[in-house]
Each structure stands twice: as structure tokens, then as C-alpha cells.
Amino acid sequence: MKGNDARARERLSIVLLSAQNQNYAKYLVQSLSIRSLDHQDFLQESVIILLQNIENDKFRLEPGSSNEVDRKRIFKYFREIVYRQVHKVYRDDKKLTQLDDQFDHINQSDSLSTADDKFDLAVYQCFHSLDPVSQKMLKHLFSDNLSPKEVAKKMNHPEFPNTKDIVEHKFNCLQKLKSLTSEKLLEMDQKSFNTYLEVSKSALKNLDEPCKTILTNILPPIHKSYKEMLSILKNSKIPEKEFLKTEDQVKKRKYKCMITLQDRIWQNLLTQIN
């Protein structure tokens, strides 16, 4: 790729301008209502940036890795560039005719100007660690607010033909996102961590009862025991308390509430980055 290998650069450019990446860039531009440039502008500028970063050793592939692994790494890095370029125009809110091509390696935290930038990128990287089908499914569920039954019909995917399959796969995706997010939290600065905390608090605050009361009291920092939770529920005006009279019943409901909370958190996060 380095030097004057024009044919290699041309081949890579063609691959990067695939229909999949075209649709991705178009979706970002439309979701942010950017009218000053269309998705083709962002894609072309992003290809130039990627090629420059390869030339300047800002992006490298691992020696000995397979073509498939290389392709996935390049596509992931390229989409991160597209994402950053689109959001830069969105934040600046200017009618630009040319994009800034000074783009550093985005995995370096110092190339991101604000805590919001770093947080959005961390969320973006977690979400795009999922396969494309899973991403599409979660967007239908969380961004489009479709029911599992509607998603099964809309996707018409052989591996997820009915509601049960959609619900089970959504749970598996959320478990993976939870694990990835936990890893990212360790890398975040205090401001980025606080942003995630606020998103989580907002999701908890907007839960329906009895989940709101149960999780507010059982999760840190309050950390009530199940026995104490029974007493709180008994003295509350929550109608469903009649079905929560044993510690085991509260424990089972807490588990279901945690799944709901994860749903709400990622619904909020996807809204924030799209």
C-alpha cells in the first residue's frame, strides 16, 4: 500500500466504497439532518484520510493475520473515520465545502477534543463490535421502537423467525454490550464516566414500578438487602407488591428489572450517538 502502488490504493478505495459503507454513511448523515454535504463527500474524504494514515504509519495491520481479519480491521477503522468526520461537521454546524483531512489515529484518546467525544466514541466502538445483523436488530428495537414481533417480520431473517428468537438474541447482545462497556469504563476519564453515569441514572429514573423502586434501593449506593426490600415494598403504594411477598420473588423480579434497565440504557446511548 505504501509508496506509489496506485493499483493497490485504487483497489482498496473501491472496497471501502461498498454499498454497505455507503448505506452506513448515508444513515449517519440523514440521522443528523446534515444538508451541507451528502454521504458521498464524507466517504471520499474518509478514504483519503485512511490512505494517508496508512502512508504515515498511523494505521497498521498485524503481520501474519488473515485477509478476513485484515478486512474487518480496515472496515472498522474506516467507519470510525467516517463517524468522526460526520460528527465533526454536525458539531461545528457550518456549511463546509471541504472537510479537514488532518485526522489522527482515533484510538489515541488525545485526538478527541472533549469528554463527550471520547464517550460517544467508546459507545460507538462497543456497539459496532456486534455483527451487522445484531446492530440492525437493536436499532429496530431501541431506535425505531419496534416490538420483537415487528422486528422478526421486518428482518425476515432465517435465524430469527419469531418473537422468542429476537428476545433471546437481544438478551445475548445486551450481555456482550454490558461486558464491552465495563471494559471501556476502565479506560474512560472522570468526565466520560460521569456522562455514562448520568445516562444510567436517567434510565433508572424512568423505569416503571416496581422496577424503579427495587433497583433504586438494591443497587449501589443504597444497597438494601432483599429482606429490607420486602419491608419497603410492603409500605409502598405499588400495586404489584401483592406479587412480591418473598425474597425469592423480589430476587426474580430484580433480575427481570435489570434486563429492562439495560434495554433503556442502550436505547438512550444509541439515541445519543445517532
Nearest-angstrom CA–CA distance, 253 and 258:
9
Pick one of 1.10.101, 1.25.40, 1.20.140, 1.10.287 as the CATH number of 132-273: 1.20.140
Longest CA span, the chain: 76
For residue 91, pLDDT beyond 50? yes
Kindly state the helix (H) or strand (E) to which residue 236 belongs, with its residue range. none
User: Which of 64 and 246 is assigned the larger pLDDT?
Assistant: 246
CA–CA gap between residue 130 and residue 145 (Å, rounded): 19
Q: Is-contact 226 235, C-beta < 8 A? A: no
What's the rounded mean pLDDT across residues 249-253? 92
Mean pLDDT over all residues of the chain? 78
Asked whether the beta carbons of 169 and 137 are under 8 A apart, the reply is yes
Does residue 3 have a pLDDT over 60?
no
Q: How confident is the model at residue 230 (pLDDT cuts 50, 70, 90)?
A: very high
Find the mean pLDDT for residues 107-128: 61
Q: How far apart are CA 266 and CA 143, in angstroms?
A: 9
Residue 102 predicted with pLDDT over 50: no
Least confident span in 110-114, 155-159, 202-206: 110-114
What are the two backbone dihedrals, phi and then psi, of residue 109, each rounded to the nearest 5 degrees? Answer: -60, -25
How is the chain split into domains, by residue range? 6-111, 132-273
User: Residue 37 has what pLDDT?
Assistant: 59
In the predicted structure, residue 94 carries a pLDDT above the cut 70 = no
Given a contact cutoff of 8 angstroms between Cβ atoms, the answer to whether 247 and 230 are in contact is yes
Q: Are the C-beta atoms of 137 and 166 separated by less than 8 Å?
A: yes
The Cα 162–Cα 152 span in angstroms is 6
pTM greater than 0.85? no
pLDDT at 186 over 90: no
Span 27-40, average pLDDT: 63
Helix (H) or strand (E) holding 139: none
